[in-house]
């Protein structure tokens, strides 16, 4: 699958990753982002999770009863043009990502996405906020609030959780690698010894990866030929709390996500 950049006179840095494309797009002489898009027209998916961090936001989708055609949903990314009045202008900008054939509600109107409609990362960085702006008629849109005038790298990924396929669209700002973690109680938190599937992209191809929680190594993995990680770990014996899950490689790439550990058995 590919990310298509719709503009003339643009400079594009493109790096291929295992059937996905990462693209950083700017107009020549203009740091603002140009319109971009990708995914598979006709795919039908349900939004499951949204992971937000200081430099990353990832949308994870699962299959839908609407259709048996599954893949990365068609999406378009653009910069919103609304200008706030001076007394409300904080110097941030908004990017809008619109998904077609995707929804936070299942066809029977139960919720497939159980997370918050407004998300704020725990630490300060380029990504300041994300909020749902549209969720109706198999159309889904989020706005991402960015500090300053920055363009994201856009990447897509697919994996399987148990028997359920997953498709992801990730925006990153100034970082080469990213990860997410899925486990049986992703919305609530993971108890000790629960399985966790770590997936992501942007590492050195075929490199030895170190997975750590709260700074302590929990396992090793090997990136594939395209620099992707897909590794299963078990939550170590930790007290309930919020911990940093990190993956690093010898080339200096480092990606982090948040892991909530609970005392629930």
Residues 81 and 122 in one domain: yes
Residues 161 and 180 in one domain: no
Q: What percent of the chain has pLDDT over 70?
A: 86
Comparing C-alpha atoms, which of 152, 172, 142 is closest to residue 47? Answer: 142
Instruction: Output b/e per residue, 234-263; b: 16+ Cβ within 10 A.
Output: ebeebeeeebebbbbbeeebbbbbebbbee
pLDDT at 83: 74
| Interval 86-118: pLDDT, tens | 777 788 889 999 999 999 999 999 999 999 999
Residues 132 and 181 in one domain: no
254 Rama class: left (phi>0) / alpha (psi -120 to 50) / beta? beta
Inside any domain, residue 171: no
Q: Give the torsion sign (CA, 239, 244, 247, 249).
A: negative
Domain that holds residue 237: 176-265
pLDDT at 8 over 80: no
What is the average per-residue pLDDT within 134-143? 96
Residues 104 and 187 in one domain: no
Which H or E run contains 30? none
Mean pLDDT of the chain: 86
| pTM flag (> 0.75) | yes
Residues 1 and 107 in one domain: yes
What is the average per-residue pLDDT within 20-41? 58
28-37, 114-123, 193-202, 231-240: least confident range = 28-37
Distance CA 247, CA 220 (A): 9
| Interval 182-207: pLDDT, tens | 988 877 788 899 999 999 999 999 99
Indicate the number of domains in the chain. 2
Phi and psi angles of residue 86, each rounded to the nearest 5 degrees, phi first? -55, -35
Inside any domain, residue 4: yes
pLDDT at 34: 64
CATH number for the domain that contains residue 224: 2.60.40.1930
């Amino acid at each position: 699958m590919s990310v298509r950049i719709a503009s003339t006179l643009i400079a594009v840095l493109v790096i291929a990753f295992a059937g996905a494309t990462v693209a950083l797009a700017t107009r020549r002489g203009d740091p603002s982002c140009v319109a971009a898009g990708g995914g598979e027209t006709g795919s039908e998916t349900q939004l499951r999770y949204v992971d937000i961090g200081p430099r990353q936001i990832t949308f994870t989708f699962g299959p839908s009863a609407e259709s048996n055609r599954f893949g990365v949903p068609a999406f378009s990314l653009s910069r919103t043009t609304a200008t706030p009045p001076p007394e409300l202008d904080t110097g941030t900008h908004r990017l809008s990502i619109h998904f077609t054939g995707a929804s936070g509600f299942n066809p029977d109107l139960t919720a497939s996405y159980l997370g918050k409609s407004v998300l704020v990362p725990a630490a300060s960085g380029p990504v300041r906020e994300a909020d749902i702006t549209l969720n109706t008629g198999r159309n889904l849109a989020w706005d991402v609030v960015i500090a300053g005038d920055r363009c994201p790298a856009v990447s897509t990924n697919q994996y399987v959780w148990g028997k359920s396929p997953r498709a992801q669209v990730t925006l990153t700002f100034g970082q080469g690698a990213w990860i997410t973690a899925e486990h049986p109680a992703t919305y609530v938190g993971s108890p000790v010894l629960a399985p966790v599937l770590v997936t992501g992209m942007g590492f050195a191809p075929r490199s030895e990866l170190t997975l750590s929680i709260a700074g302590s190594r929990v396992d090793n993995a090997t990136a594939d030929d395209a620099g992707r990680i897909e590794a299963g770990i078990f939550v170590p014996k930790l007290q309930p709390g919020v911990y940093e899950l990190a993956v690093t490689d010898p080339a200096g790439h480092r990606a982090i996500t948040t892991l909530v550990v609970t005392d629930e058995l």
